[in-house]
């Protein structure tokens, strides 16, 4: 059992949210999305139905804390092509998130490829900036478990020279060598620093609503991600993520609406042109 599989384990309807996946004072939302999707798959497996998630949506109602959580599952439909279940994660009788996931057969739904986004050109992982604990990231224990290498061209924010362009690109994988799979993709979709870091807004960006699609089973090896935002309005922004696997296949995509406290005086975009590249973030 890897640490990630460990946190997905549900016994008698209870998951143990270990403190290894916290960001600040809350359990990472991506871990919770993978947990809820996993619970839905278990329920559908018991009903002899589909077990490959193809779409999910999560509404975050309150932050989850390390400790036990109650996971309740309700099957909404078992169909020929698609099946759907809803999952509620609660702590202390307070609902933390509501999650709806639709399942199908990914082998049937990932071929043929008619159109697909091209993965970004990234320097080798060794040439990228590892996201590591320390400094303002000291409380992000998640960074001990996931290996994130950010494209130096998108990491000016870490040295006070934000690009102000709303785009970050990175390599990502588990540190312990666990290979990516369908169950881990909801987690990876929300594992990078918020894209609003590229505007110098280096605070927590609480997710309000998140929706993800799984488009193909990931091959072993590093994943590549690109996250973007195009609309930062009234303290809210959308973050779009795309993940490619080592075969250059799009394996997952997502969109979330999240909150941000923007710096009052944005750094002009051209100020980033001379940004030096940090050795780590």
Give the binding-site size for its own copies (rule: CB under 8 A).
50
Site for its own copies in 225-244 (CB under 8 A): 229-238
Question: Minimal CA–CA distance to 99: which of 73, 81, 78, 80?
Answer: 73
Q: Which of 55, 132, 159, 277 binds its own copies (CB under 8 A)?
A: 55
Strand partners, 224: 171, 244
Whole-number minimum distance, CB 11 to its own copies, in Å?
26
Distance CA 34, CA 186 (A): 5
Question: Minimal CA–CA distance to 3: which of 203, 150, 177, 169?
Answer: 177
Site for its own copies in 112-141 (CB under 8 A): 112-117
In the complex with its own copies, which residue's Cβ is closer, 94 or 135?
94
Whole-number minimum distance, CB 152 to its own copies, in Å?
23
Is the torsion defined by CA of 20, 53, 167, 169 positive or negative? positive
Query: How far, CA to CA in Å, does 203 sit from each of 60, 67, 198?
Result: 18, 24, 11
H/E element holding 6? helix 3-7
- Does 47 interact with its own copies (rule: CB under 8 A)? no
Whole-number minimum distance, CB 147 to its own copies, in Å?
26
Whole-number minimum distance, CB 8 to its own copies, in Å?
22
- Does 37 interact with its own copies (rule: CB under 8 A)? no
In the complex with its own copies, which residue's Cβ is closer, 77 or 139?
77
In the complex with its own copies, which residue's Cβ is closer, 137 or 241?
241
Site for its own copies in 156-175 (CB under 8 A): 166
Whole-number minimum distance, CB 1 to its own copies, in Å?
31
DSSP secondary structure letters along 65-106: -SEEEEEEEEEEEE-SS-EEEEEEEEETTEEEEEEEEEEE-T
- Does 1 interact with its own copies (rule: CB under 8 A)? no
Whole-number minimum distance, CB 14 to its own copies, in Å?
21
* Phi, psi angles (nearest 5°) of residue 110: -125, 5
Q: Which of 70, 144, 167, 213 binds its own copies (CB under 8 A)?
A: 213
Instruction: Tell me, rounded to whole angstroms, the distance of Cα 148 from its chain centroid.
Output: 12
Distance CA 137, CA 23 (A): 9
Q: Which of 102, 154, 161, 184 binds its own copies (CB under 8 A)?
A: 102
Whole-number minimum distance, CB 82 to its own copies, in Å?
6
Beta-strand relationship, 10-11 and 250-259: unpaired
What residue ranges bind its own copies (CB under 8 A)? 54-57, 59, 61-62, 76-77, 82, 84, 86, 95, 98, 100, 102, 108-117, 166, 199, 208-209, 211, 213, 215-216, 229-238, 250, 253, 255, 257, 262, 266
């Amino acid at each position: 059992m890897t640490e990630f599989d460990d946190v997905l384990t549900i016994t008698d309807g209870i998951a143990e949210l270990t403190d290894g996946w916290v960001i600040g004072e809350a359990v990472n939302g991506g871990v919770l999305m993978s947990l809820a999707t996993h619970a839905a798959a278990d329920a559908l497996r018991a009903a002899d139905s589909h077990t490959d998630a193809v779409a999910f949506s999560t509404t975050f109602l309150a932050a989850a804390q390390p400790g036990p959580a109650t996971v309740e599952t309700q099957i909404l439909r078992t169909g020929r092509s698609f099946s759907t279940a809803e999952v509620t994660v609660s702590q202390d009788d307070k609902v933390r998130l509501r999650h709806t996931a639709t399942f199908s057969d990914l082998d049937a739904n990932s071929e043929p490829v008619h159109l697909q986004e091209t993965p970004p050109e990234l320097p080798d992982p060794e040439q990228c900036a590892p996201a590591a604990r320390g400094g303002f990231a000291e409380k992000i224990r998640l960074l001990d478990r996931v290996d994130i290498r950010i494209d130096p061209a998108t990491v000016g924010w870490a040295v006070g020279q934000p690009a102000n362009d709303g785009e970050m690109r990175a390599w990502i994988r588990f540190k312990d060598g666990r290979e990516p799979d369908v169950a881990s993709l909801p987690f990876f979709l929300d594992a990078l620093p918020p894209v609003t870091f590229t505007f110098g807004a280096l605070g927590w960006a609480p997710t309000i609503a998140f929706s993800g699609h799984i488009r193909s089973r990931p091959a072993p090896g590093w994943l590549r991600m690109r996250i973007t935002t195009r609309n930062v309005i009234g303290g809210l922004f959308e973050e779009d993520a795309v993940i490619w696997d080592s075969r250059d296949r799009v394996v997952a995509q997502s969109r979330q609406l999240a909150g941000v406290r923007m710096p009052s005086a944005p750094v002009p975009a051209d100020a980033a042109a001379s940004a030096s590249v940090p050795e780590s973030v």
